[in-house]
Each structure stands twice: as structure tokens, then as C-alpha cells.
Chain A
Amino acid sequence: MTPYAELHANGQFGEAGYNLLFELTRQELRLFPSLQPATGGDNAIWDVVGDFLVERGRGVSTMLLTSASDDESVGRLLRKSLRNWLIDRVRRTSRGALRRRLTRLISEDERFEAVPEGQPGAGRWRLAGTAGPPTGPPFATLRAAAWGIRDVRIPPWNSEERRAPIADEPSLQRIMFAVLTEAGGSLEPETVVAVFADRFPHALDPAEVPLTNEATEVADGLEASDPAQAVVDMERDDDSARCAEDIYAHLSAEERRLLPQLHGTVREQMRATGLRKSQTYLHIKALRERLHALLGDEEDRGMMASELLRLCGGPVDGVPDSRGDVPSLPGSR
């Protein structure tokens, strides 16, 4: 029997369906290096298949039975579900990493503390030396405080590292101080994590998909620029150039293709994403949010944007030196 026939006969996968799921999982995992099992071999892949079935299986079986019209569509829809789940998994592990990073910040910086046991709101986070009660201000208020911190620095990231740093230590400290001050009391750690996740979308988004060959060549070309170009580069604002290269390293291959089309026509943008209109619009919006988070409100952001566009292979002259350009400003989302 084929996977389609199995589903229609029993409402679940049979041998053919499991083998299809195994093969799709093996292929899709290649796109998510951070999720690849530490040990190779079929058993590790089967474990991922098992997790997928436990977490999403019922909804997926239902979806396939009601939506697929043949084996081809079973394969297409199953691959999509699997990829969605893997992306969600990356985000969950990234959120866990973000929480661990912030927990470390709270414990290491003497300006912050976790509310001790025996006090109201034990385990929550607050400014040290205050006795503020547990509080729950609107998310938008905390968000505004986080985004109000200027000159946030994103450390260089070697893409061979497993996870990109979200921001340098002083930047995180300043944002944490602003958020807890705005709260006027203690906050649930998960609330603080949500604020930071909003402020640093690049920390959660799975931009870990390996670069395509084409994009890798572009990146390689950066390091192998000719001496004349190197002199020109030195004349640039060093900080801007370095920041742009750091930001470039945080972008996914698709975002690098899409960035030169940020102000292009919808048709050009759709060509860059290979998607239809609504999905392309969403990707453009996400890229704007990511750029805003990465570029922030630096005074030299126009220069960084130009440099970033150059790295992405776009026409530098095409970047208007305007604060309303490449990244969207706070409140414009």
C-alpha cells in the first residue's frame, strides 16, 4: 500500500508512511544543524520521527486524511508539517537558551536579583535592593522600555558557532535595567524572556539554515577582497563596516537575497523568496523587524545599511540615507 492508501484504510501511517516520514525527516534535518542528532544512524532519525508523532501526529494524520488527494500531496503536506515542527523546535530551544542567558545575567549582575524564597513573588526577577511587589504591567510598556535602549551592540558571530549571541553584555544589562525599572516591582522570568525575545527576534528565529553555495561564495568573497578594495574599506567608518559584517553574519541566506529587494516591487520580492504574495509580504516584514533589532537606532545606521546592502550584493547607491529606510522604526510594526 502507498502512504495515501494506508491513511485512508486505517487513519494512520503504515509501513510506507513511516518510511516516507523517515526519509523526509532525514532530508529536513539537514536544514537545521542545531537539531541534528549527536549520533548518526537510523535510530537517531527514528527518535526524531517518534517525537514528531507524539507532539504533532494526531493533527497531522487528520490534516492528511482531510486535505491530501493523492500520494504526491501526502508527501508535500507531510514535509511542510515536519518543517513547521522543526522550526518550532528550534525556536523553543532558542527560547530556552535565551532564558538561561538572562538567568545568568540576573545571578551575575549585582544590580539584579531573583526574589528570595519566603518573600512575595519568590523566584521572580527585580532590581536588587528594592522590595517591589509582584507586578504585571502591560507587555507594551515593558516592550517600549526595551526598545528605548539605544546603541545596542551585537557581537561578531562566527557562523560556525552553534548559536548567535543576542547582544553584548552591557547592552543586555542596560535593557534588563530599563525593563525592571519600568516594571516597578518583580516580574515573572517568562515575561522578561518574552520582552527580550521581542527585542531580539534574531535570537529565536531559525536563521540556522545552512547557506546555499551561492551565498557561501558571496561570504567567501568578503574575505578575499582585493587590496585596493581593502584600502577603500579602511577609509570607511570601521565600526559601521564591522557592525554591518556582524549583522550580515546573522542573516539567513534567504534574507541576504531578499535584502536588496526590500524596496523593490512585489514581483521582484516574490522572485527573491520564491513564494506567493502574502508569504513574501510576511518575510519582508520579518526582515524589517530583524534589521530594526540588529541596526537599532545607531546614528550611523545609514552607513551600516549601505554596507549591509553591499554585502548582500545590492546597489549601494540605492540606499537612501534616511531613518525611515531599511529598518522600520519602533512603533511602525
Chain B
Amino acid sequence: MTDQPRRVPEHVLRAGAAAAASSALVKAVRAAESSATMPDPARGQLWRSCWEDITQLVLVLRVSQAGIAVVAPVTTDPPAADDTSAVLGPDLTVLEQPATVWGGLAVGVPLVVFDLAISDIAATVVDAVERVAAGHRTGVLPAGVSVGAPVMSAFDQAAEVRAELADNLEFLGQAAWAPQGSGSAPRPLRELLQSPPDLPALKDALGLGLPAVIDIVMSRRPVTPVQAAAVAAVTGLTAEQVLSAVSPLPAELVSELDRPRWRRALRARRRAGEPEAATRLAVAYGVLALAARQTGAVSTPSWPQRIRQYMAASPLGESAQ
């Protein structure tokens, strides 16, 4: 791109102004972004969901006990639908724009992908979305709700959109940041090493101080994938072994950090280029270390309290050091 902005022709400015999103939506998004707390997802809510470089507007159909919400992708561009999709008229949502809810693609996704609660949709409309997705066409659909046309060919644009959405939802459904095996027996790094670790070499490779390196060797501190590769190069282990050799995280702590209420604070702690998973890991182990220091207290703080304490006590960005 050139450094100098181009002069935008009048006819483009007019077209752009006519294409503005609804003021109701702008207000809703601003309100959600400035809200002090983010709720847990609930049926009928429109959410922005994202993980890594995949982002998707979704409608929550139901939330299960296990921290999983079943969602359907929602699109306003391109104008496409299939015969398991409900097309909602402009009056039915804050989008004030025809929107396709791809009920046939509904899947369960972990709470960790929920980012921004934008608005609610009427229960009767959500019911209709589910009926359309299930192929139950009996009964009258609410005013403003219609059913998409069947996809006739692989060359139909709706087929391409549907495939991309299915891939997005599958990716979001697999979002995870806690080491596999969290909640099971630990496999500390020092036990995997055949000989005493070369601490100076690890210091150099990781660019960390000795206490931080010892914490990593003792599996008291998490490692990012990049750090795991550096440790692997020094120790002769594989990066996968290094990544697996961390203390388990309590499942309750992982579930708590998955809740949308923490996401903004976690995102604020990310350093440029750092994956969200690495930030979450660092915070989780920081909270765990704090909890270890608090053992023996008369009343054990809850995980939300400990997370708040840790966030308050640890300056932004420290987690990634």
C-alpha cells in the first residue's frame, strides 16, 4: 500500500455511507465492549466467537453442563443459505440486516471461544431456527423467518460458504489451551531428563533468569511452544515431551479461565505475537503458584478470587516473561 491515503471519490463515499451498519448494532457492540463484565453464554444470544485467526458470529442454541455451548454460525455476507438455514429478516435482530442462521451446522464449542455478547434473539425465533435445522417444516414460522433453498451443486456459492463455516466451527470446537492430561498425574521435566540439566545453557536458550529456568525444570512454570523447542534443543528431548512435562492444571481452574468474563483481561496481558493459549497457560500457572502459597489458609479462596488476586498482583505482560 502507498503511505499517502488516496482521495476517495464522492460516489464511493455515498455508497459507503449507505452501507453503514445499523446504529443499533454500533451501540450494542460499543456497549458490549465497554461492559465491566461479560456474561456466560446462554440460549438465544448472538456472540462473536474467535480462536487464533478464526472468528465467527454465532447464535447460542443451548449450553451444556460440561462448559460446552451448542452454537450455529450466523452470516450477513455473502447472502447465502441452505435448506437447513433460517433466514431472519432485518426486524428480528439488532443486525437490522437479513441474516442467515446455519442451524444445520450447529456444533458444540468450548466456552473459551466466546468473545463478545452482542445481543439477544427472541425465543420464538430460536425455536424456529431449531425446527428448520431439524427439517420440521410443520407449523408456521414466525413472521420474518424463511427457509433457505437447497444447495444444488458444488458450484453453488452457498456450498462454498457452508464448507467454510463447517471448517470454522470445527476449528472453534477444538479450541484448547490447557496441556492434555490436566487433572491427571504430573510428569515433571526433571524426571524426563537422563542427566542433570545444563542450567546455563537453558538460561541462554530461553533468555530467562535462573529462578525462571529452575521453575521450568521443576515444571512449576509453563512453557510456550517456542520455549519448548528451545528446551528441547538443549536437553535432547522432543518439544512434545517438554510440553507434556508440566504440572497438571486443576480442571476447575481451566474451566473458570475459559469463561468469557476473563477474556478481555487475558487479552490485555498478551504481548505482540503471543498466542492466546500461551497467555492463558502463563496466567493459569501463575494462579496455581499463588494458590500453592495460600495453602493452609483458614478459608481457601475460590478460583475466581485467586484469578482476580493474581491479575491484580501481576503487572500486565509479566505472564509472558
Among the listed stretches A211-219, A239-247, A270-278, which one makes contact with chain B, having 4 or more residues with CB under 8 Å of it?
A270-278
Q: Say yes or no: B26 contacts A10, CB within 8 Å.
A: yes
B79 at the binding interface (Cβ < 8 Å): yes
- Complex CA–CA separation, A279 to B46 (angstroms): 25
A23 at the binding interface (Cβ < 8 Å): yes
Q: Say yes or no: B26 contacts A15, CB within 8 Å.
A: no
Q: Say yes or no: B17 contacts A66, CB within 8 Å.
A: no
Residues of chain A in range 2-49 having any CB-CB distance to chain B below 8 Å: 7-8, 10-13, 15-20, 22-23, 42-43, 46, 49
B95 at the binding interface (Cβ < 8 Å): yes
Residues of chain A in range 69-83 having any CB-CB distance to chain B below 8 Å: 69, 72-73, 76-77, 81
Q: Say yes or no: A50 contacts B21, CB within 8 Å.
A: no
Q: Say yes or no: A60 contacts B77, CB within 8 Å.
A: yes
Q: Say yes or no: A278 contacts B167, CB within 8 Å.
A: yes
Q: Say yes or no: B97 contacts A58, CB within 8 Å.
A: yes
Q: Say yes or no: B78 contacts A275, CB within 8 Å.
A: no
B136 at the binding interface (Cβ < 8 Å): no
Among the listed stretches A144-152, A224-232, A281-289, which one makes contact with chain B, having 4 or more residues with CB under 8 Å of it?
A281-289
Residues of A within 8 A of B25 (CB): 11, 62, 65-66
A87 at the binding interface (Cβ < 8 Å): yes
Q: Say yes or no: A62 contacts B21, CB within 8 Å.
A: yes
B196 at the binding interface (Cβ < 8 Å): no
Q: Say yes or no: B26 contacts A65, CB within 8 Å.
A: yes
A59 at the binding interface (Cβ < 8 Å): yes
- Complex CA–CA separation, A5 to B185 (angstroms): 46
Q: Name which of A16, A53, A87, A277 has the most chain B CB atoms within 10 A of its CB.
A: A53
Residues of A within 8 A of B22 (CB): 11, 62
Binary per-residue interface labels of chain B (134-173) against chain A in the complex, 1 for a CB within 8 Å, 0 otherwise = 0000000000000000001111010111111011001100
Binary per-residue interface labels of chain B (1-29) against chain A in the complex, 1 for a CB within 8 Å, 0 otherwise = 10001101101110111111111011001
Q: Say yes or no: A43 contacts B9, CB within 8 Å.
A: yes
Residues of B within 8 A of A65 (CB): 21, 25-26, 29
- Complex CA–CA separation, A12 to B21 (angstroms): 6
- Complex CA–CA separation, A6 to B56 (angstroms): 20
B75 at the binding interface (Cβ < 8 Å): yes
Q: Say yes or no: B56 contacts A67, CB within 8 Å.
A: yes
Q: Say yes or no: A276 contacts B6, CB within 8 Å.
A: no
Residues of A within 8 A of B50 (CB): 69, 73
Q: Say yes or no: B170 contacts A276, CB within 8 Å.
A: yes
B216 at the binding interface (Cβ < 8 Å): no
Q: Which of A8, A282, A286 contacts B29 (CB 8 A)?
A: A8
Q: Say yes or no: B21 contacts A198, CB within 8 Å.
A: no
Residues of B within 8 A of A87 (CB): 157
Nearest chain-A residue to B17 (Cβ)?
A12
Residues of B within 8 A of A53 (CB): 12, 15-16, 18-19
Q: Name which of B20, B75, B161 has the most chain A CB atoms within 10 A of its CB.
A: B20
Nearest chain-A residue to B29 (Cβ)?
A65
Q: Say yes or no: B171 contacts A88, CB within 8 Å.
A: no
Q: Which of A42, A57, A62 contacts B6 (CB 8 A)?
A: A42
B115 at the binding interface (Cβ < 8 Å): yes
Q: Which of B11, B18, B57 contacts A63 (CB 8 A)?
A: B57
A201 at the binding interface (Cβ < 8 Å): yes
With both chains docked as a complex, state the minimum distance between the C-beta of A43 and any C-beta of chain B, in angstroms.
7
- Complex CA–CA separation, A15 to B16 (angstroms): 11
With both chains docked as a complex, state the minimum distance between the C-beta of B56 and any C-beta of chain A, in angstroms.
6
B255 at the binding interface (Cβ < 8 Å): no
- Complex CA–CA separation, A64 to B48 (angstroms): 11
A234 at the binding interface (Cβ < 8 Å): no
Nearest chain-B residue to A43 (Cβ)?
B9
Q: Say yes or no: A286 contacts B154, CB within 8 Å.
A: yes
Residues of chain B in range 277-297 having any CB-CB distance to chain A below 8 Å: none
B30 at the binding interface (Cβ < 8 Å): yes
Residues of B within 8 A of A8 (CB): 26, 29-30, 33
A84 at the binding interface (Cβ < 8 Å): yes
B230 at the binding interface (Cβ < 8 Å): no
With both chains docked as a complex, state the minimum distance between the C-beta of B91 and any C-beta of chain A, in angstroms.
14
Residues of A within 8 A of B95 (CB): 62, 66
Nearest chain-B residue to A49 (Cβ)?
B12
Q: Which of A18, A67, A201, A275 contacts B8 (CB 8 A)?
A: A18
Q: List 30 A-B contacts (CB under 8 A).
A: A8-B33, A11-B20, A11-B23, A11-B25, A11-B26, A12-B19, A12-B21, A15-B5, A16-B5, A18-B6, A20-B1, A42-B6, A46-B8, A50-B11, A53-B16, A57-B16, A57-B19, A59-B76, A59-B78, A62-B95, A63-B57, A65-B26, A66-B48, A72-B53, A73-B55, A77-B55, A84-B77, A84-B78, A204-B155, A279-B160
**Sample of 20 further A-B pairs with CB below 8 A, known A46-B9, A66-B46, A84-B78:** A8-B30, A11-B20, A15-B5, A18-B6, A19-B1, A54-B15, A59-B97, A60-B76, A61-B19, A62-B25, A62-B95, A64-B21, A65-B29, A67-B56, A69-B48, A91-B155, A198-B153, A201-B155, A276-B171, A278-B164
Q: Lowest 7 CB-CB distances: which A-B pairs, in order? A: A57-B19, A59-B77, A12-B20, A53-B15, A286-B154, A11-B21, A278-B166
Q: What is the interface of chain B, defined by CB distance below 8 A to chain A?
A: 1, 5-6, 8-9, 11-13, 15-23, 25-26, 29-30, 33, 46, 48, 50, 53, 55-57, 75-79, 95, 97-99, 115-116, 118, 152-155, 157, 159-164, 166-167, 170-171
